[in-house]
Chains A and B, each alone.
Chain A
Amino acid sequence: MTPLPAPRPLSRLIGSPEGRLGIIAVTVFVVMAALSPDRFLSAANMTSMAFQFPEFAILALAMTVTMLTGGIDLSVVGIANLSAIVAAMIMTRLTGDGTGLVLLALAASLGVGLLAGLLNGVLIAALGLPPILATLGSGLIFTGLAVALTGGSAVMGLPPAMAWIGNSTTLGIPTPLILFALLALGISLMLTRTAFGVTLRMYGANPLAARFAAIDVGGMLVRVYVLSGALAAVAGMLVMSRANSAKADYGSSYLLLAVLIAVLGGVNPYGGYGRIIGVVLAVLSMQFLSSGLNMLGVSNFARELIWGSLLIFVMIVNTRRPRA
């Protein structure tokens, strides 16, 4: 078999899904900049964007890891809100020194995320519930608990230390951005360099063969959903920090956005393919689009319309183009 000629750099870029995403991100940036040059390209906007995207980007990371196994976690927003509300209630009900209290609350919030993920994992791995149903039901429960705990209203009056994570800069870079970058890097390394990550991807590629290869499928699935729950809790904490309050229905549009980003980022919803760099580029594209649309005065509803259309468009393109 004669080897194919080495592809030219440009066609190789277009050929890879991540290369295409890079082009899309740059294109969206340029278009939005062209439509509102003064405001879009301002330092204020750049900073603002850098503060905004990490919260839904981390949710997209959670969605990505579960999608890689051929499943999905529809409860991430519910977990984010519930864990934030638990933290907020600790911070507002208990008295104590600011930082210590905040750390306790955050630990509790992470604990809620881990437990919630554990519930999902057990439902899916041990009972064999389809992930759609399991996370649909559990998501309802988590949101419902959040509503029951707060009566539907926001929990306010958080200690000032809480605002630090979501609104400060460290070494000149917004702290949320650093947090997201660390998480993205960590997950990317996990997926390629640890037994857990490789097992995860192999299972997504062929669940049946994974069982036949004597891989601990059940243990892996539980850990994936626990990870998703933990990431959701972190995202919820960021939202709470920036909004300085916690509410049961924050970020309700973030679920669609997380799915959109994962799919746009090249993650195959049936499992087996997906790269973190693709997700990061998709996050950036969506942030540029969101900020740009905001500046053009496009309403929230129109944004929903655009996101939905984009999701469908991306699915069509990904299906049309044969996988390399």
Chain B
Amino acid sequence: MTIDWTRNETLVALVILAFGALAALSDPGFLSIATLTDLLRGGIVLGIFATGVLVVLISGGIDVSFTAVAAFTMYATAMVLNAVAPWMPWWAALMLGAALGAALGAINGVLIAGLGLPTLIVTLGTLSVFRGFMLTFVGQRQITTLPPGMREFGRMMLVRGENPDGSIWSLHAGILVTAGVIALTWFILHRTLLGRQVFAIGGSEESARRIGIPVRRVQFLVYVYVGALAGLAGMIHASMARVANPFDLVGLELSVIAAVVLGGARLAGGYGTLTGTVLGVALIVLVRNSLIVLGIPSTWQSVAIGLLILIGTGLPAWQARRAARRAA
């Protein structure tokens, strides 16, 4: 297998290995099943978010409102289910969440695809609209008793086992949802015409228009998709946390975008792989959960992620600039 040293994926994989090695040196107990399942658990929600953001970036746009979509969805859905349909099974609840997320995403879609407004500023606006609406009109108090469907999902473990010290490690079933989302997205991006159209639009919107690609329709669907994924992620987050806290999730946007961008997706559009995104998520989860092991206090977490973003995107940008200077 030839290793391409210039690709983001390779660099990120190396950093993960280095991090893991350093952590193992600091704390021999680091390399254990417990740590692995912890990390996997941390990546469940982040992974679904990142997959959606990847699709948006490939299409040439950006979305910072997805955490607000997730929070709104999980809070509103939990409230509605408790009040109106507590009998709903877990899978239907999750799908309902995805549907609500899709509807919110459609609002972004109309503004961006339909009216052609700039993506960053519009999603900054909808972030505030969704969050403000939820906190003003839906409620501000945590929902500590979730509907039974969500509670059931929160308890679902794929495997569990016992640690040497007697404590239990477990791998939440949510990881299967994340894996499913990744697989579905891979299929859409690489095996369907729609996915190729997303790449095409990201590569050159004007050329896409000229050969007859329905650019606005595809862009609209992209934002609906990321909304649906965000809604799903929000539901899973609440289920796993056993509580629907409307103040959760917002603030994660930067980590998610960092993960996707570290994995090689370009802000300008047209480029990005799921492998890279998964690796990026893995690195971010590692950083968020394991700085302690390296002796770095959690207050430095933001700095670490910020540095990662800058180095992880700065290096390739600098290389690209040097390559462009070398080219004609």
Contact = CB atoms under 8 A, between A and B. Distances in A.
Q: Do chains A and B touch in the complex (CB under 8 A)?
A: yes
A187 interface: no
Nearest to A320: B115
Given A123-B310, A147-B302, A315 B317 contact: no
Nearest to B140: A301
Contact of A136 (B117, B126, B131, B254): B254
A152 B297 CA distance: 12
Contact of A301 (B136, B306, B307, B320): B136
A321 to B, nearest CB: 13
A148 B313 contact: no
A302 B138 CA distance: 11
A148 B115 contact: no
A128 B321 contact: yes
A305 B317 CA distance: 36
Contacts of A316: 111, 115, 117
Interface size class of A (residues with CB under 8 A): 35 or more
B29 interface: no
A130 B267 contact: yes
B248 to A, nearest CB: 15
B84 to A, nearest CB: 24
A107 B105 CA distance: 46
Interface in A199-228: none
Nearest to B62: A132
B6 to A, nearest CB: 16
Interface in A26-81: 72
Given A123-B310, A130-B267, A141-B307, A305 B124 contact: no
A240 interface: no
Contact of B121 (A137, A305, A315): A315
A117 interface: no
Interface string B108-145: 00010001111011101111111111011000100000
- Majority-rule SS of A interface residues: helix
A136 B303 contact: no
Contact of A128 (B133, B257, B317): B317
B268 interface: yes
Interface residues of B, number: 47
B137 to A, nearest CB: 8
B42 to A, nearest CB: 18
A148 B303 contact: yes
Interface in B286-320: 297, 299-310, 313-314, 317-318, 320
Contacts of B127: 308
A306 B136 CA distance: 11
B261 interface: yes
Contact of B129 (A142, A299, A312, A315): A312
B121 A127 contact: no
Contacts of B136: 299, 301-302, 305
A87 interface: no
A230 B127 CA distance: 28
Contacts of B128: 256, 304-305, 307-308, 311
A265 interface: no
B153 to A, nearest CB: 29
Contacts of B133: 305
B254 A145 contact: no
Given A304-B128, A309-B129, A311-B121, A152 B299 contact: yes
Nearest to B135: A301
B129 A319 contact: no
B124 A145 contact: no
Contact of A140 (B120, B125, B309): B309
Given A129-B317, A141-B307, A141-B310, A301 B131 contact: yes
Interface string A138-171: 1111111101100110000000000000000000
Contacts of A270: 118
Contacts of A128: 317-318, 320-321
Contact of A312 (B111, B309, B314): B111
Contacts of B310: 123, 129, 134, 137-138, 141
A12 interface: no
Interface in A102-148: 123, 126-130, 132-134, 136-145, 147-148
Nearest to B121: A269
Given A127-B321, A148-B300, A137 B313 contact: yes
Contacts of A72: 120
A269 B118 contact: yes
Given A127-B314, A132-B267, 15 more contacts: A134-B314, A138-B306, A144-B302, A147-B299, A148-B299, A152-B299, A269-B121, A302-B132, A305-B132, A305-B136, A309-B129, A311-B124, A311-B125, A312-B117, A312-B129
6 contacts: A141-B302, A145-B303, A301-B135, A304-B128, A307-B132, A315-B118
Interface of B: 62, 111, 115-118, 120-122, 124-133, 135-136, 140, 254, 257-258, 261, 267-268, 297, 299-310, 313-314, 317-318, 320-321
**Shortest beta-carbon contacts, A-B, top 5:** A305-B132, A308-B128, A144-B302, A140-B306, A144-B303
